Structures are given as structure tokens and as C-alpha cells.
């Protein structure tokens, strides 16, 4: 999309509720997202959130119930969001979940990821710098996986044995070293 059209679309969304970003369908401005996530003012109108706190230098704190009213949230992309008190809820409506450096050991226990884009078709999984990751997921539902990045996962102590079923896996990146897996022909 041309940058000018994208900017125009963003402004149209923002004009709807200039003083209440929790009622907008999409959030991308750091100050709006910080307001919504720290004050729990999100509503079911929110369908997408994109925030890169590394660009602005302002860290975004997410409260345990920040997403509790966002039942139609389909797209969540956060770079460097903090969870000082953990996370209790993620909506089951999520289709895309991209949280760089997710600061917790696990996703909320009641989160059902069935609507996430199908794991079956995934070719690349990047869990790099997931500092609290201690073991990997079961890989049986990802038979097409070709590339797996686990660089910087300093607490990782167990790779699920189902990694052996990944016949198409060609790149496995653990810490700073990249291991190439030679497949038997």
C-alpha cells in the first residue's frame, strides 16, 4: 500500500474517536496503546494492535487484564512489551500473535490458540530472545516447519523430542550458532 494511502487510512480511523483510542478498530500510536493497555480501556471495537516500543524508546507496560474486553482482537504485534504483573487473558479471536521478546514463561492458561493461523502450514518459527522459554512446544502439528530460531533463549533446557518428526527442518538456530540439519536422502 502506498505510504500516503496508509497514512490517510490511519487518520480516518483515528478521527472516529480522537479522545478515546480504546474505541478505535486499530491502534498503532505508542501513546494511544500505552493509554489503552495500562488503563484497561480497550473495547471489543479493537481488532488490531501494532506497537514497536523500540522505535519510540518508550516501553509499553501491559497489565494482567489489558486485553480482557478486546473480544474481537485479531491481530496483535508487540515489540518489547512488559508484563510487570503477568498476563491473565488473551482473546481467543487472535489470528496473528507476534510478541517479540515475550517476557513470560507461558501464555495465559485460558487462551485457546485454535484460530491462530494454522500451525500446520508454518514454515518458520522465531522464538529468539524469549528469555523465559524453558522448553519448546510439541512439533507434531507443524509438519512443514523448515526453519526454527531459538537464538538467545538463555533458559531453554529442553527441546521437545517431536522435533525428530520435522522432515523438512533445514535450519535450527540455537543461541549464537546455526546448526544445519542434513536430511537422509
Q: Which letter, b or e, does each residue of 24-35 get, where b requires 16 or more Cβ atoms within 10 Å of its Cβ?
A: bebbbebebbbb
Q: What is the pTM of this model?
A: 0.68
**β partners of residue 81:** 60
Q: Which letter, b or e, does each residue of 154-165 get, where b requires 16 or more Cβ atoms within 10 Å of its Cβ?
A: eebeeeeeebee
Q: Give per-residue pLDDT as tens, 154-184.
A: 888 888 899 999 999 999 998 644 444 444 4
Q: Give per-residue pLDDT as tens, 84-141.
A: 888 999 999 999 998 887 888 778 888 888 788 777 788 888 888 887 788 888 888 8
CB 115 within 8 A of CB 87: no
pLDDT (average), residues 38-58? 86
**CA dihedral in degrees (90, 106, 150, 113; nearest 10)?**
-40
Amino acid at each position: 500500500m502506498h505510504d500516503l494511502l496508509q497514512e490517510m487510512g490511519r487518520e480516518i480511523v483515528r478521527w472516529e474517536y480522537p479522545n478515546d483510542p480504546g474505541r478505535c478498530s486499530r491502534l498503532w500510536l505508542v501513546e494511544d496503546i500505552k493509554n489503552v493497555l495500562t488503563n484497561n480501556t480497550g473495547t471489543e471495537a479493537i481488532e488490531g494492535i501494532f506497537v514497536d516500543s523500540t522505535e519510540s524508546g518508550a516501553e509499553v507496560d501491559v497489565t494482567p487484564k489489558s486485553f480482557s474486553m478486546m473480544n474481537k482482537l485479531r491481530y496483535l504485534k508487540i515489540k518489547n512489551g512488559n508484563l510487570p504483573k503477568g498476563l491473565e487473558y488473551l482473546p481467543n479471536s487472535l489470528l496473528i500473535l507476534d510478541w517479540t521478546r515475550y517476557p513470560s514463561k507461558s501464555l495465559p492458561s485460558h487462551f485457546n490458540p485454535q484460530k491462530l493461523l494454522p500451525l500446520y502450514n508454518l514454515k518458520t518459527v522465531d522464538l529468539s530472545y524469549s528469555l523465559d522459554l524453558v522448553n519448546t512446544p510439541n512439533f507434531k502439528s507443524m509438519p512443514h516447519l523448515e526453519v526454527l530460531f531459538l537464538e538467545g533463549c538463555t533458559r531453554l533446557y529442553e527441546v521437545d523430542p517431536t522435533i525428530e518428526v520435522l522432515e523438512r527442518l533445514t535450519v535450527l538456530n540455537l543461541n549464537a550458532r546455526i546448526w544445519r540439519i542434513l536430511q537422509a536422502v
